[in-house]
Amino acid sequence: GENVEQHPSTLSVQEGDSAVIKCTYSDSASNYFPWYKQELGKRPQLIIDIRSNVGEKKDQRIAVTLNKTAKHFSLHITETQPEDSAVYFCAASRNTDKLIFGTGTRLQVFP
Amino acid sequence: EAEVAQSPRYKITEKSQAVAFWCDPISGHATLYWYRQILGQGPELLVQFQDESVVDDSQLPKDRFSAERLKGVDSTLKIQPAELGDSAMYLCASTPAEGRINEQFFGPGTRLTVL
């Protein structure tokens, strides 16, 4: 079945450094790739998304890149801050089908 | 800003009891999803509705779980009987019928603990 692999499972960075999280998807028909940030006990919150007709998207300190040929997409956070600490999930879907989530990355930003 | 509503926020029950969760999507959102998130994992779909019709319930344990969205608006997810392994966060999400139809808006979730 469809699956999404996500790496690394944990990531520790110093405040101000960059963080990169990578995902690989299996369903070549996937056309929507969101990233969610989830704090402990709270709902997943959409932080950025990209559609298959776009290769890169940026929103302030956050950017996402998509390589459809390799079926890879990545989240880049620059100038990390302690409040960026959370669990980040990538996901993939086709149109309004269910989201297939990755296994999550716990990001810790140390002051 | 409109949000997906869920209740209760927390539920503690004993195994073999029945539990029910309620979700009210954002007004006008035609597609509604119930996900289950086990601690330390990503959410996984249990059931998807388009209006009042089930679109995908392939991962719903139908011997104990049921879901309905009778008027195509709010939805109820029921577990009977609850088992220890059902302890998880149950998340409801919805998507608009037009525009950004992919973007799923999540509710605050119901955290279920089965003792």
* 3-state SS record for B37-65: ECCCCCCEEEEEEECCEEEECCCCCCCCE
In chain A, which residues have their Cβ closer than 8 Å to the Cβ of B35? 99
Q: Is the pLDDT of residue A29 over 90?
A: yes
Q: Is the pLDDT of residue A1 over 80?
A: no
A91/A53 Cα distance (integer angstroms): 17
Q: In this complex, do A32 and B44 lie within 8 Å of one another by their Cβ atoms?
A: no
| 3-state SS assignment for residue B85 | helix
How does pLDDT run across B6-55, given as a tens digit for each residue?
999 999 999 999 999 999 999 989 999 999 999 999 999 999 999 999 99
Confidence band for A64, pLDDT divided at 50, 70 and 90: very high
Taking CA atoms, what residue in A is nearest to B48? Answer: A98
- Note whether A105 and A87 are within 8 A (CB): yes
Contacts of B58 (CB under 8 A, 6+ apart): none
- Note whether A24 and A5 are within 8 A (CB): yes
Q: In this complex, do A101 and B91 lie within 8 Å of one another by their Cβ atoms?
A: no
Query: What dihedral do alpha carbons B24, B26, B29, B32 form, nearest 10°?
Result: -40
- Note whether B107 and B3 are within 8 A (CB): yes
In chain B, which residues have their Cβ closer than 8 Å to the Cβ of A49? 102-103
In chain B, which residues have their Cβ closer than 8 Å to the Cβ of A32? 102
> CB-side exposure of A49: number of CA atoms within 13 Å?
19
Q: A14: which 2 tokens?
A: 């110093």
Q: In this complex, do B45 and A34 lie within 8 Å of one another by their Cβ atoms?
A: no
Q: A29: which 2 tokens?
A: 């028909």
Contacts of B87 (CB under 8 A, 6+ apart): B38, B112, B113, B114
- Average pLDDT over chain A reads 95
Mutate to test the interface with B, among A99, A100, A105 (most CBs of B within 10 A): A99
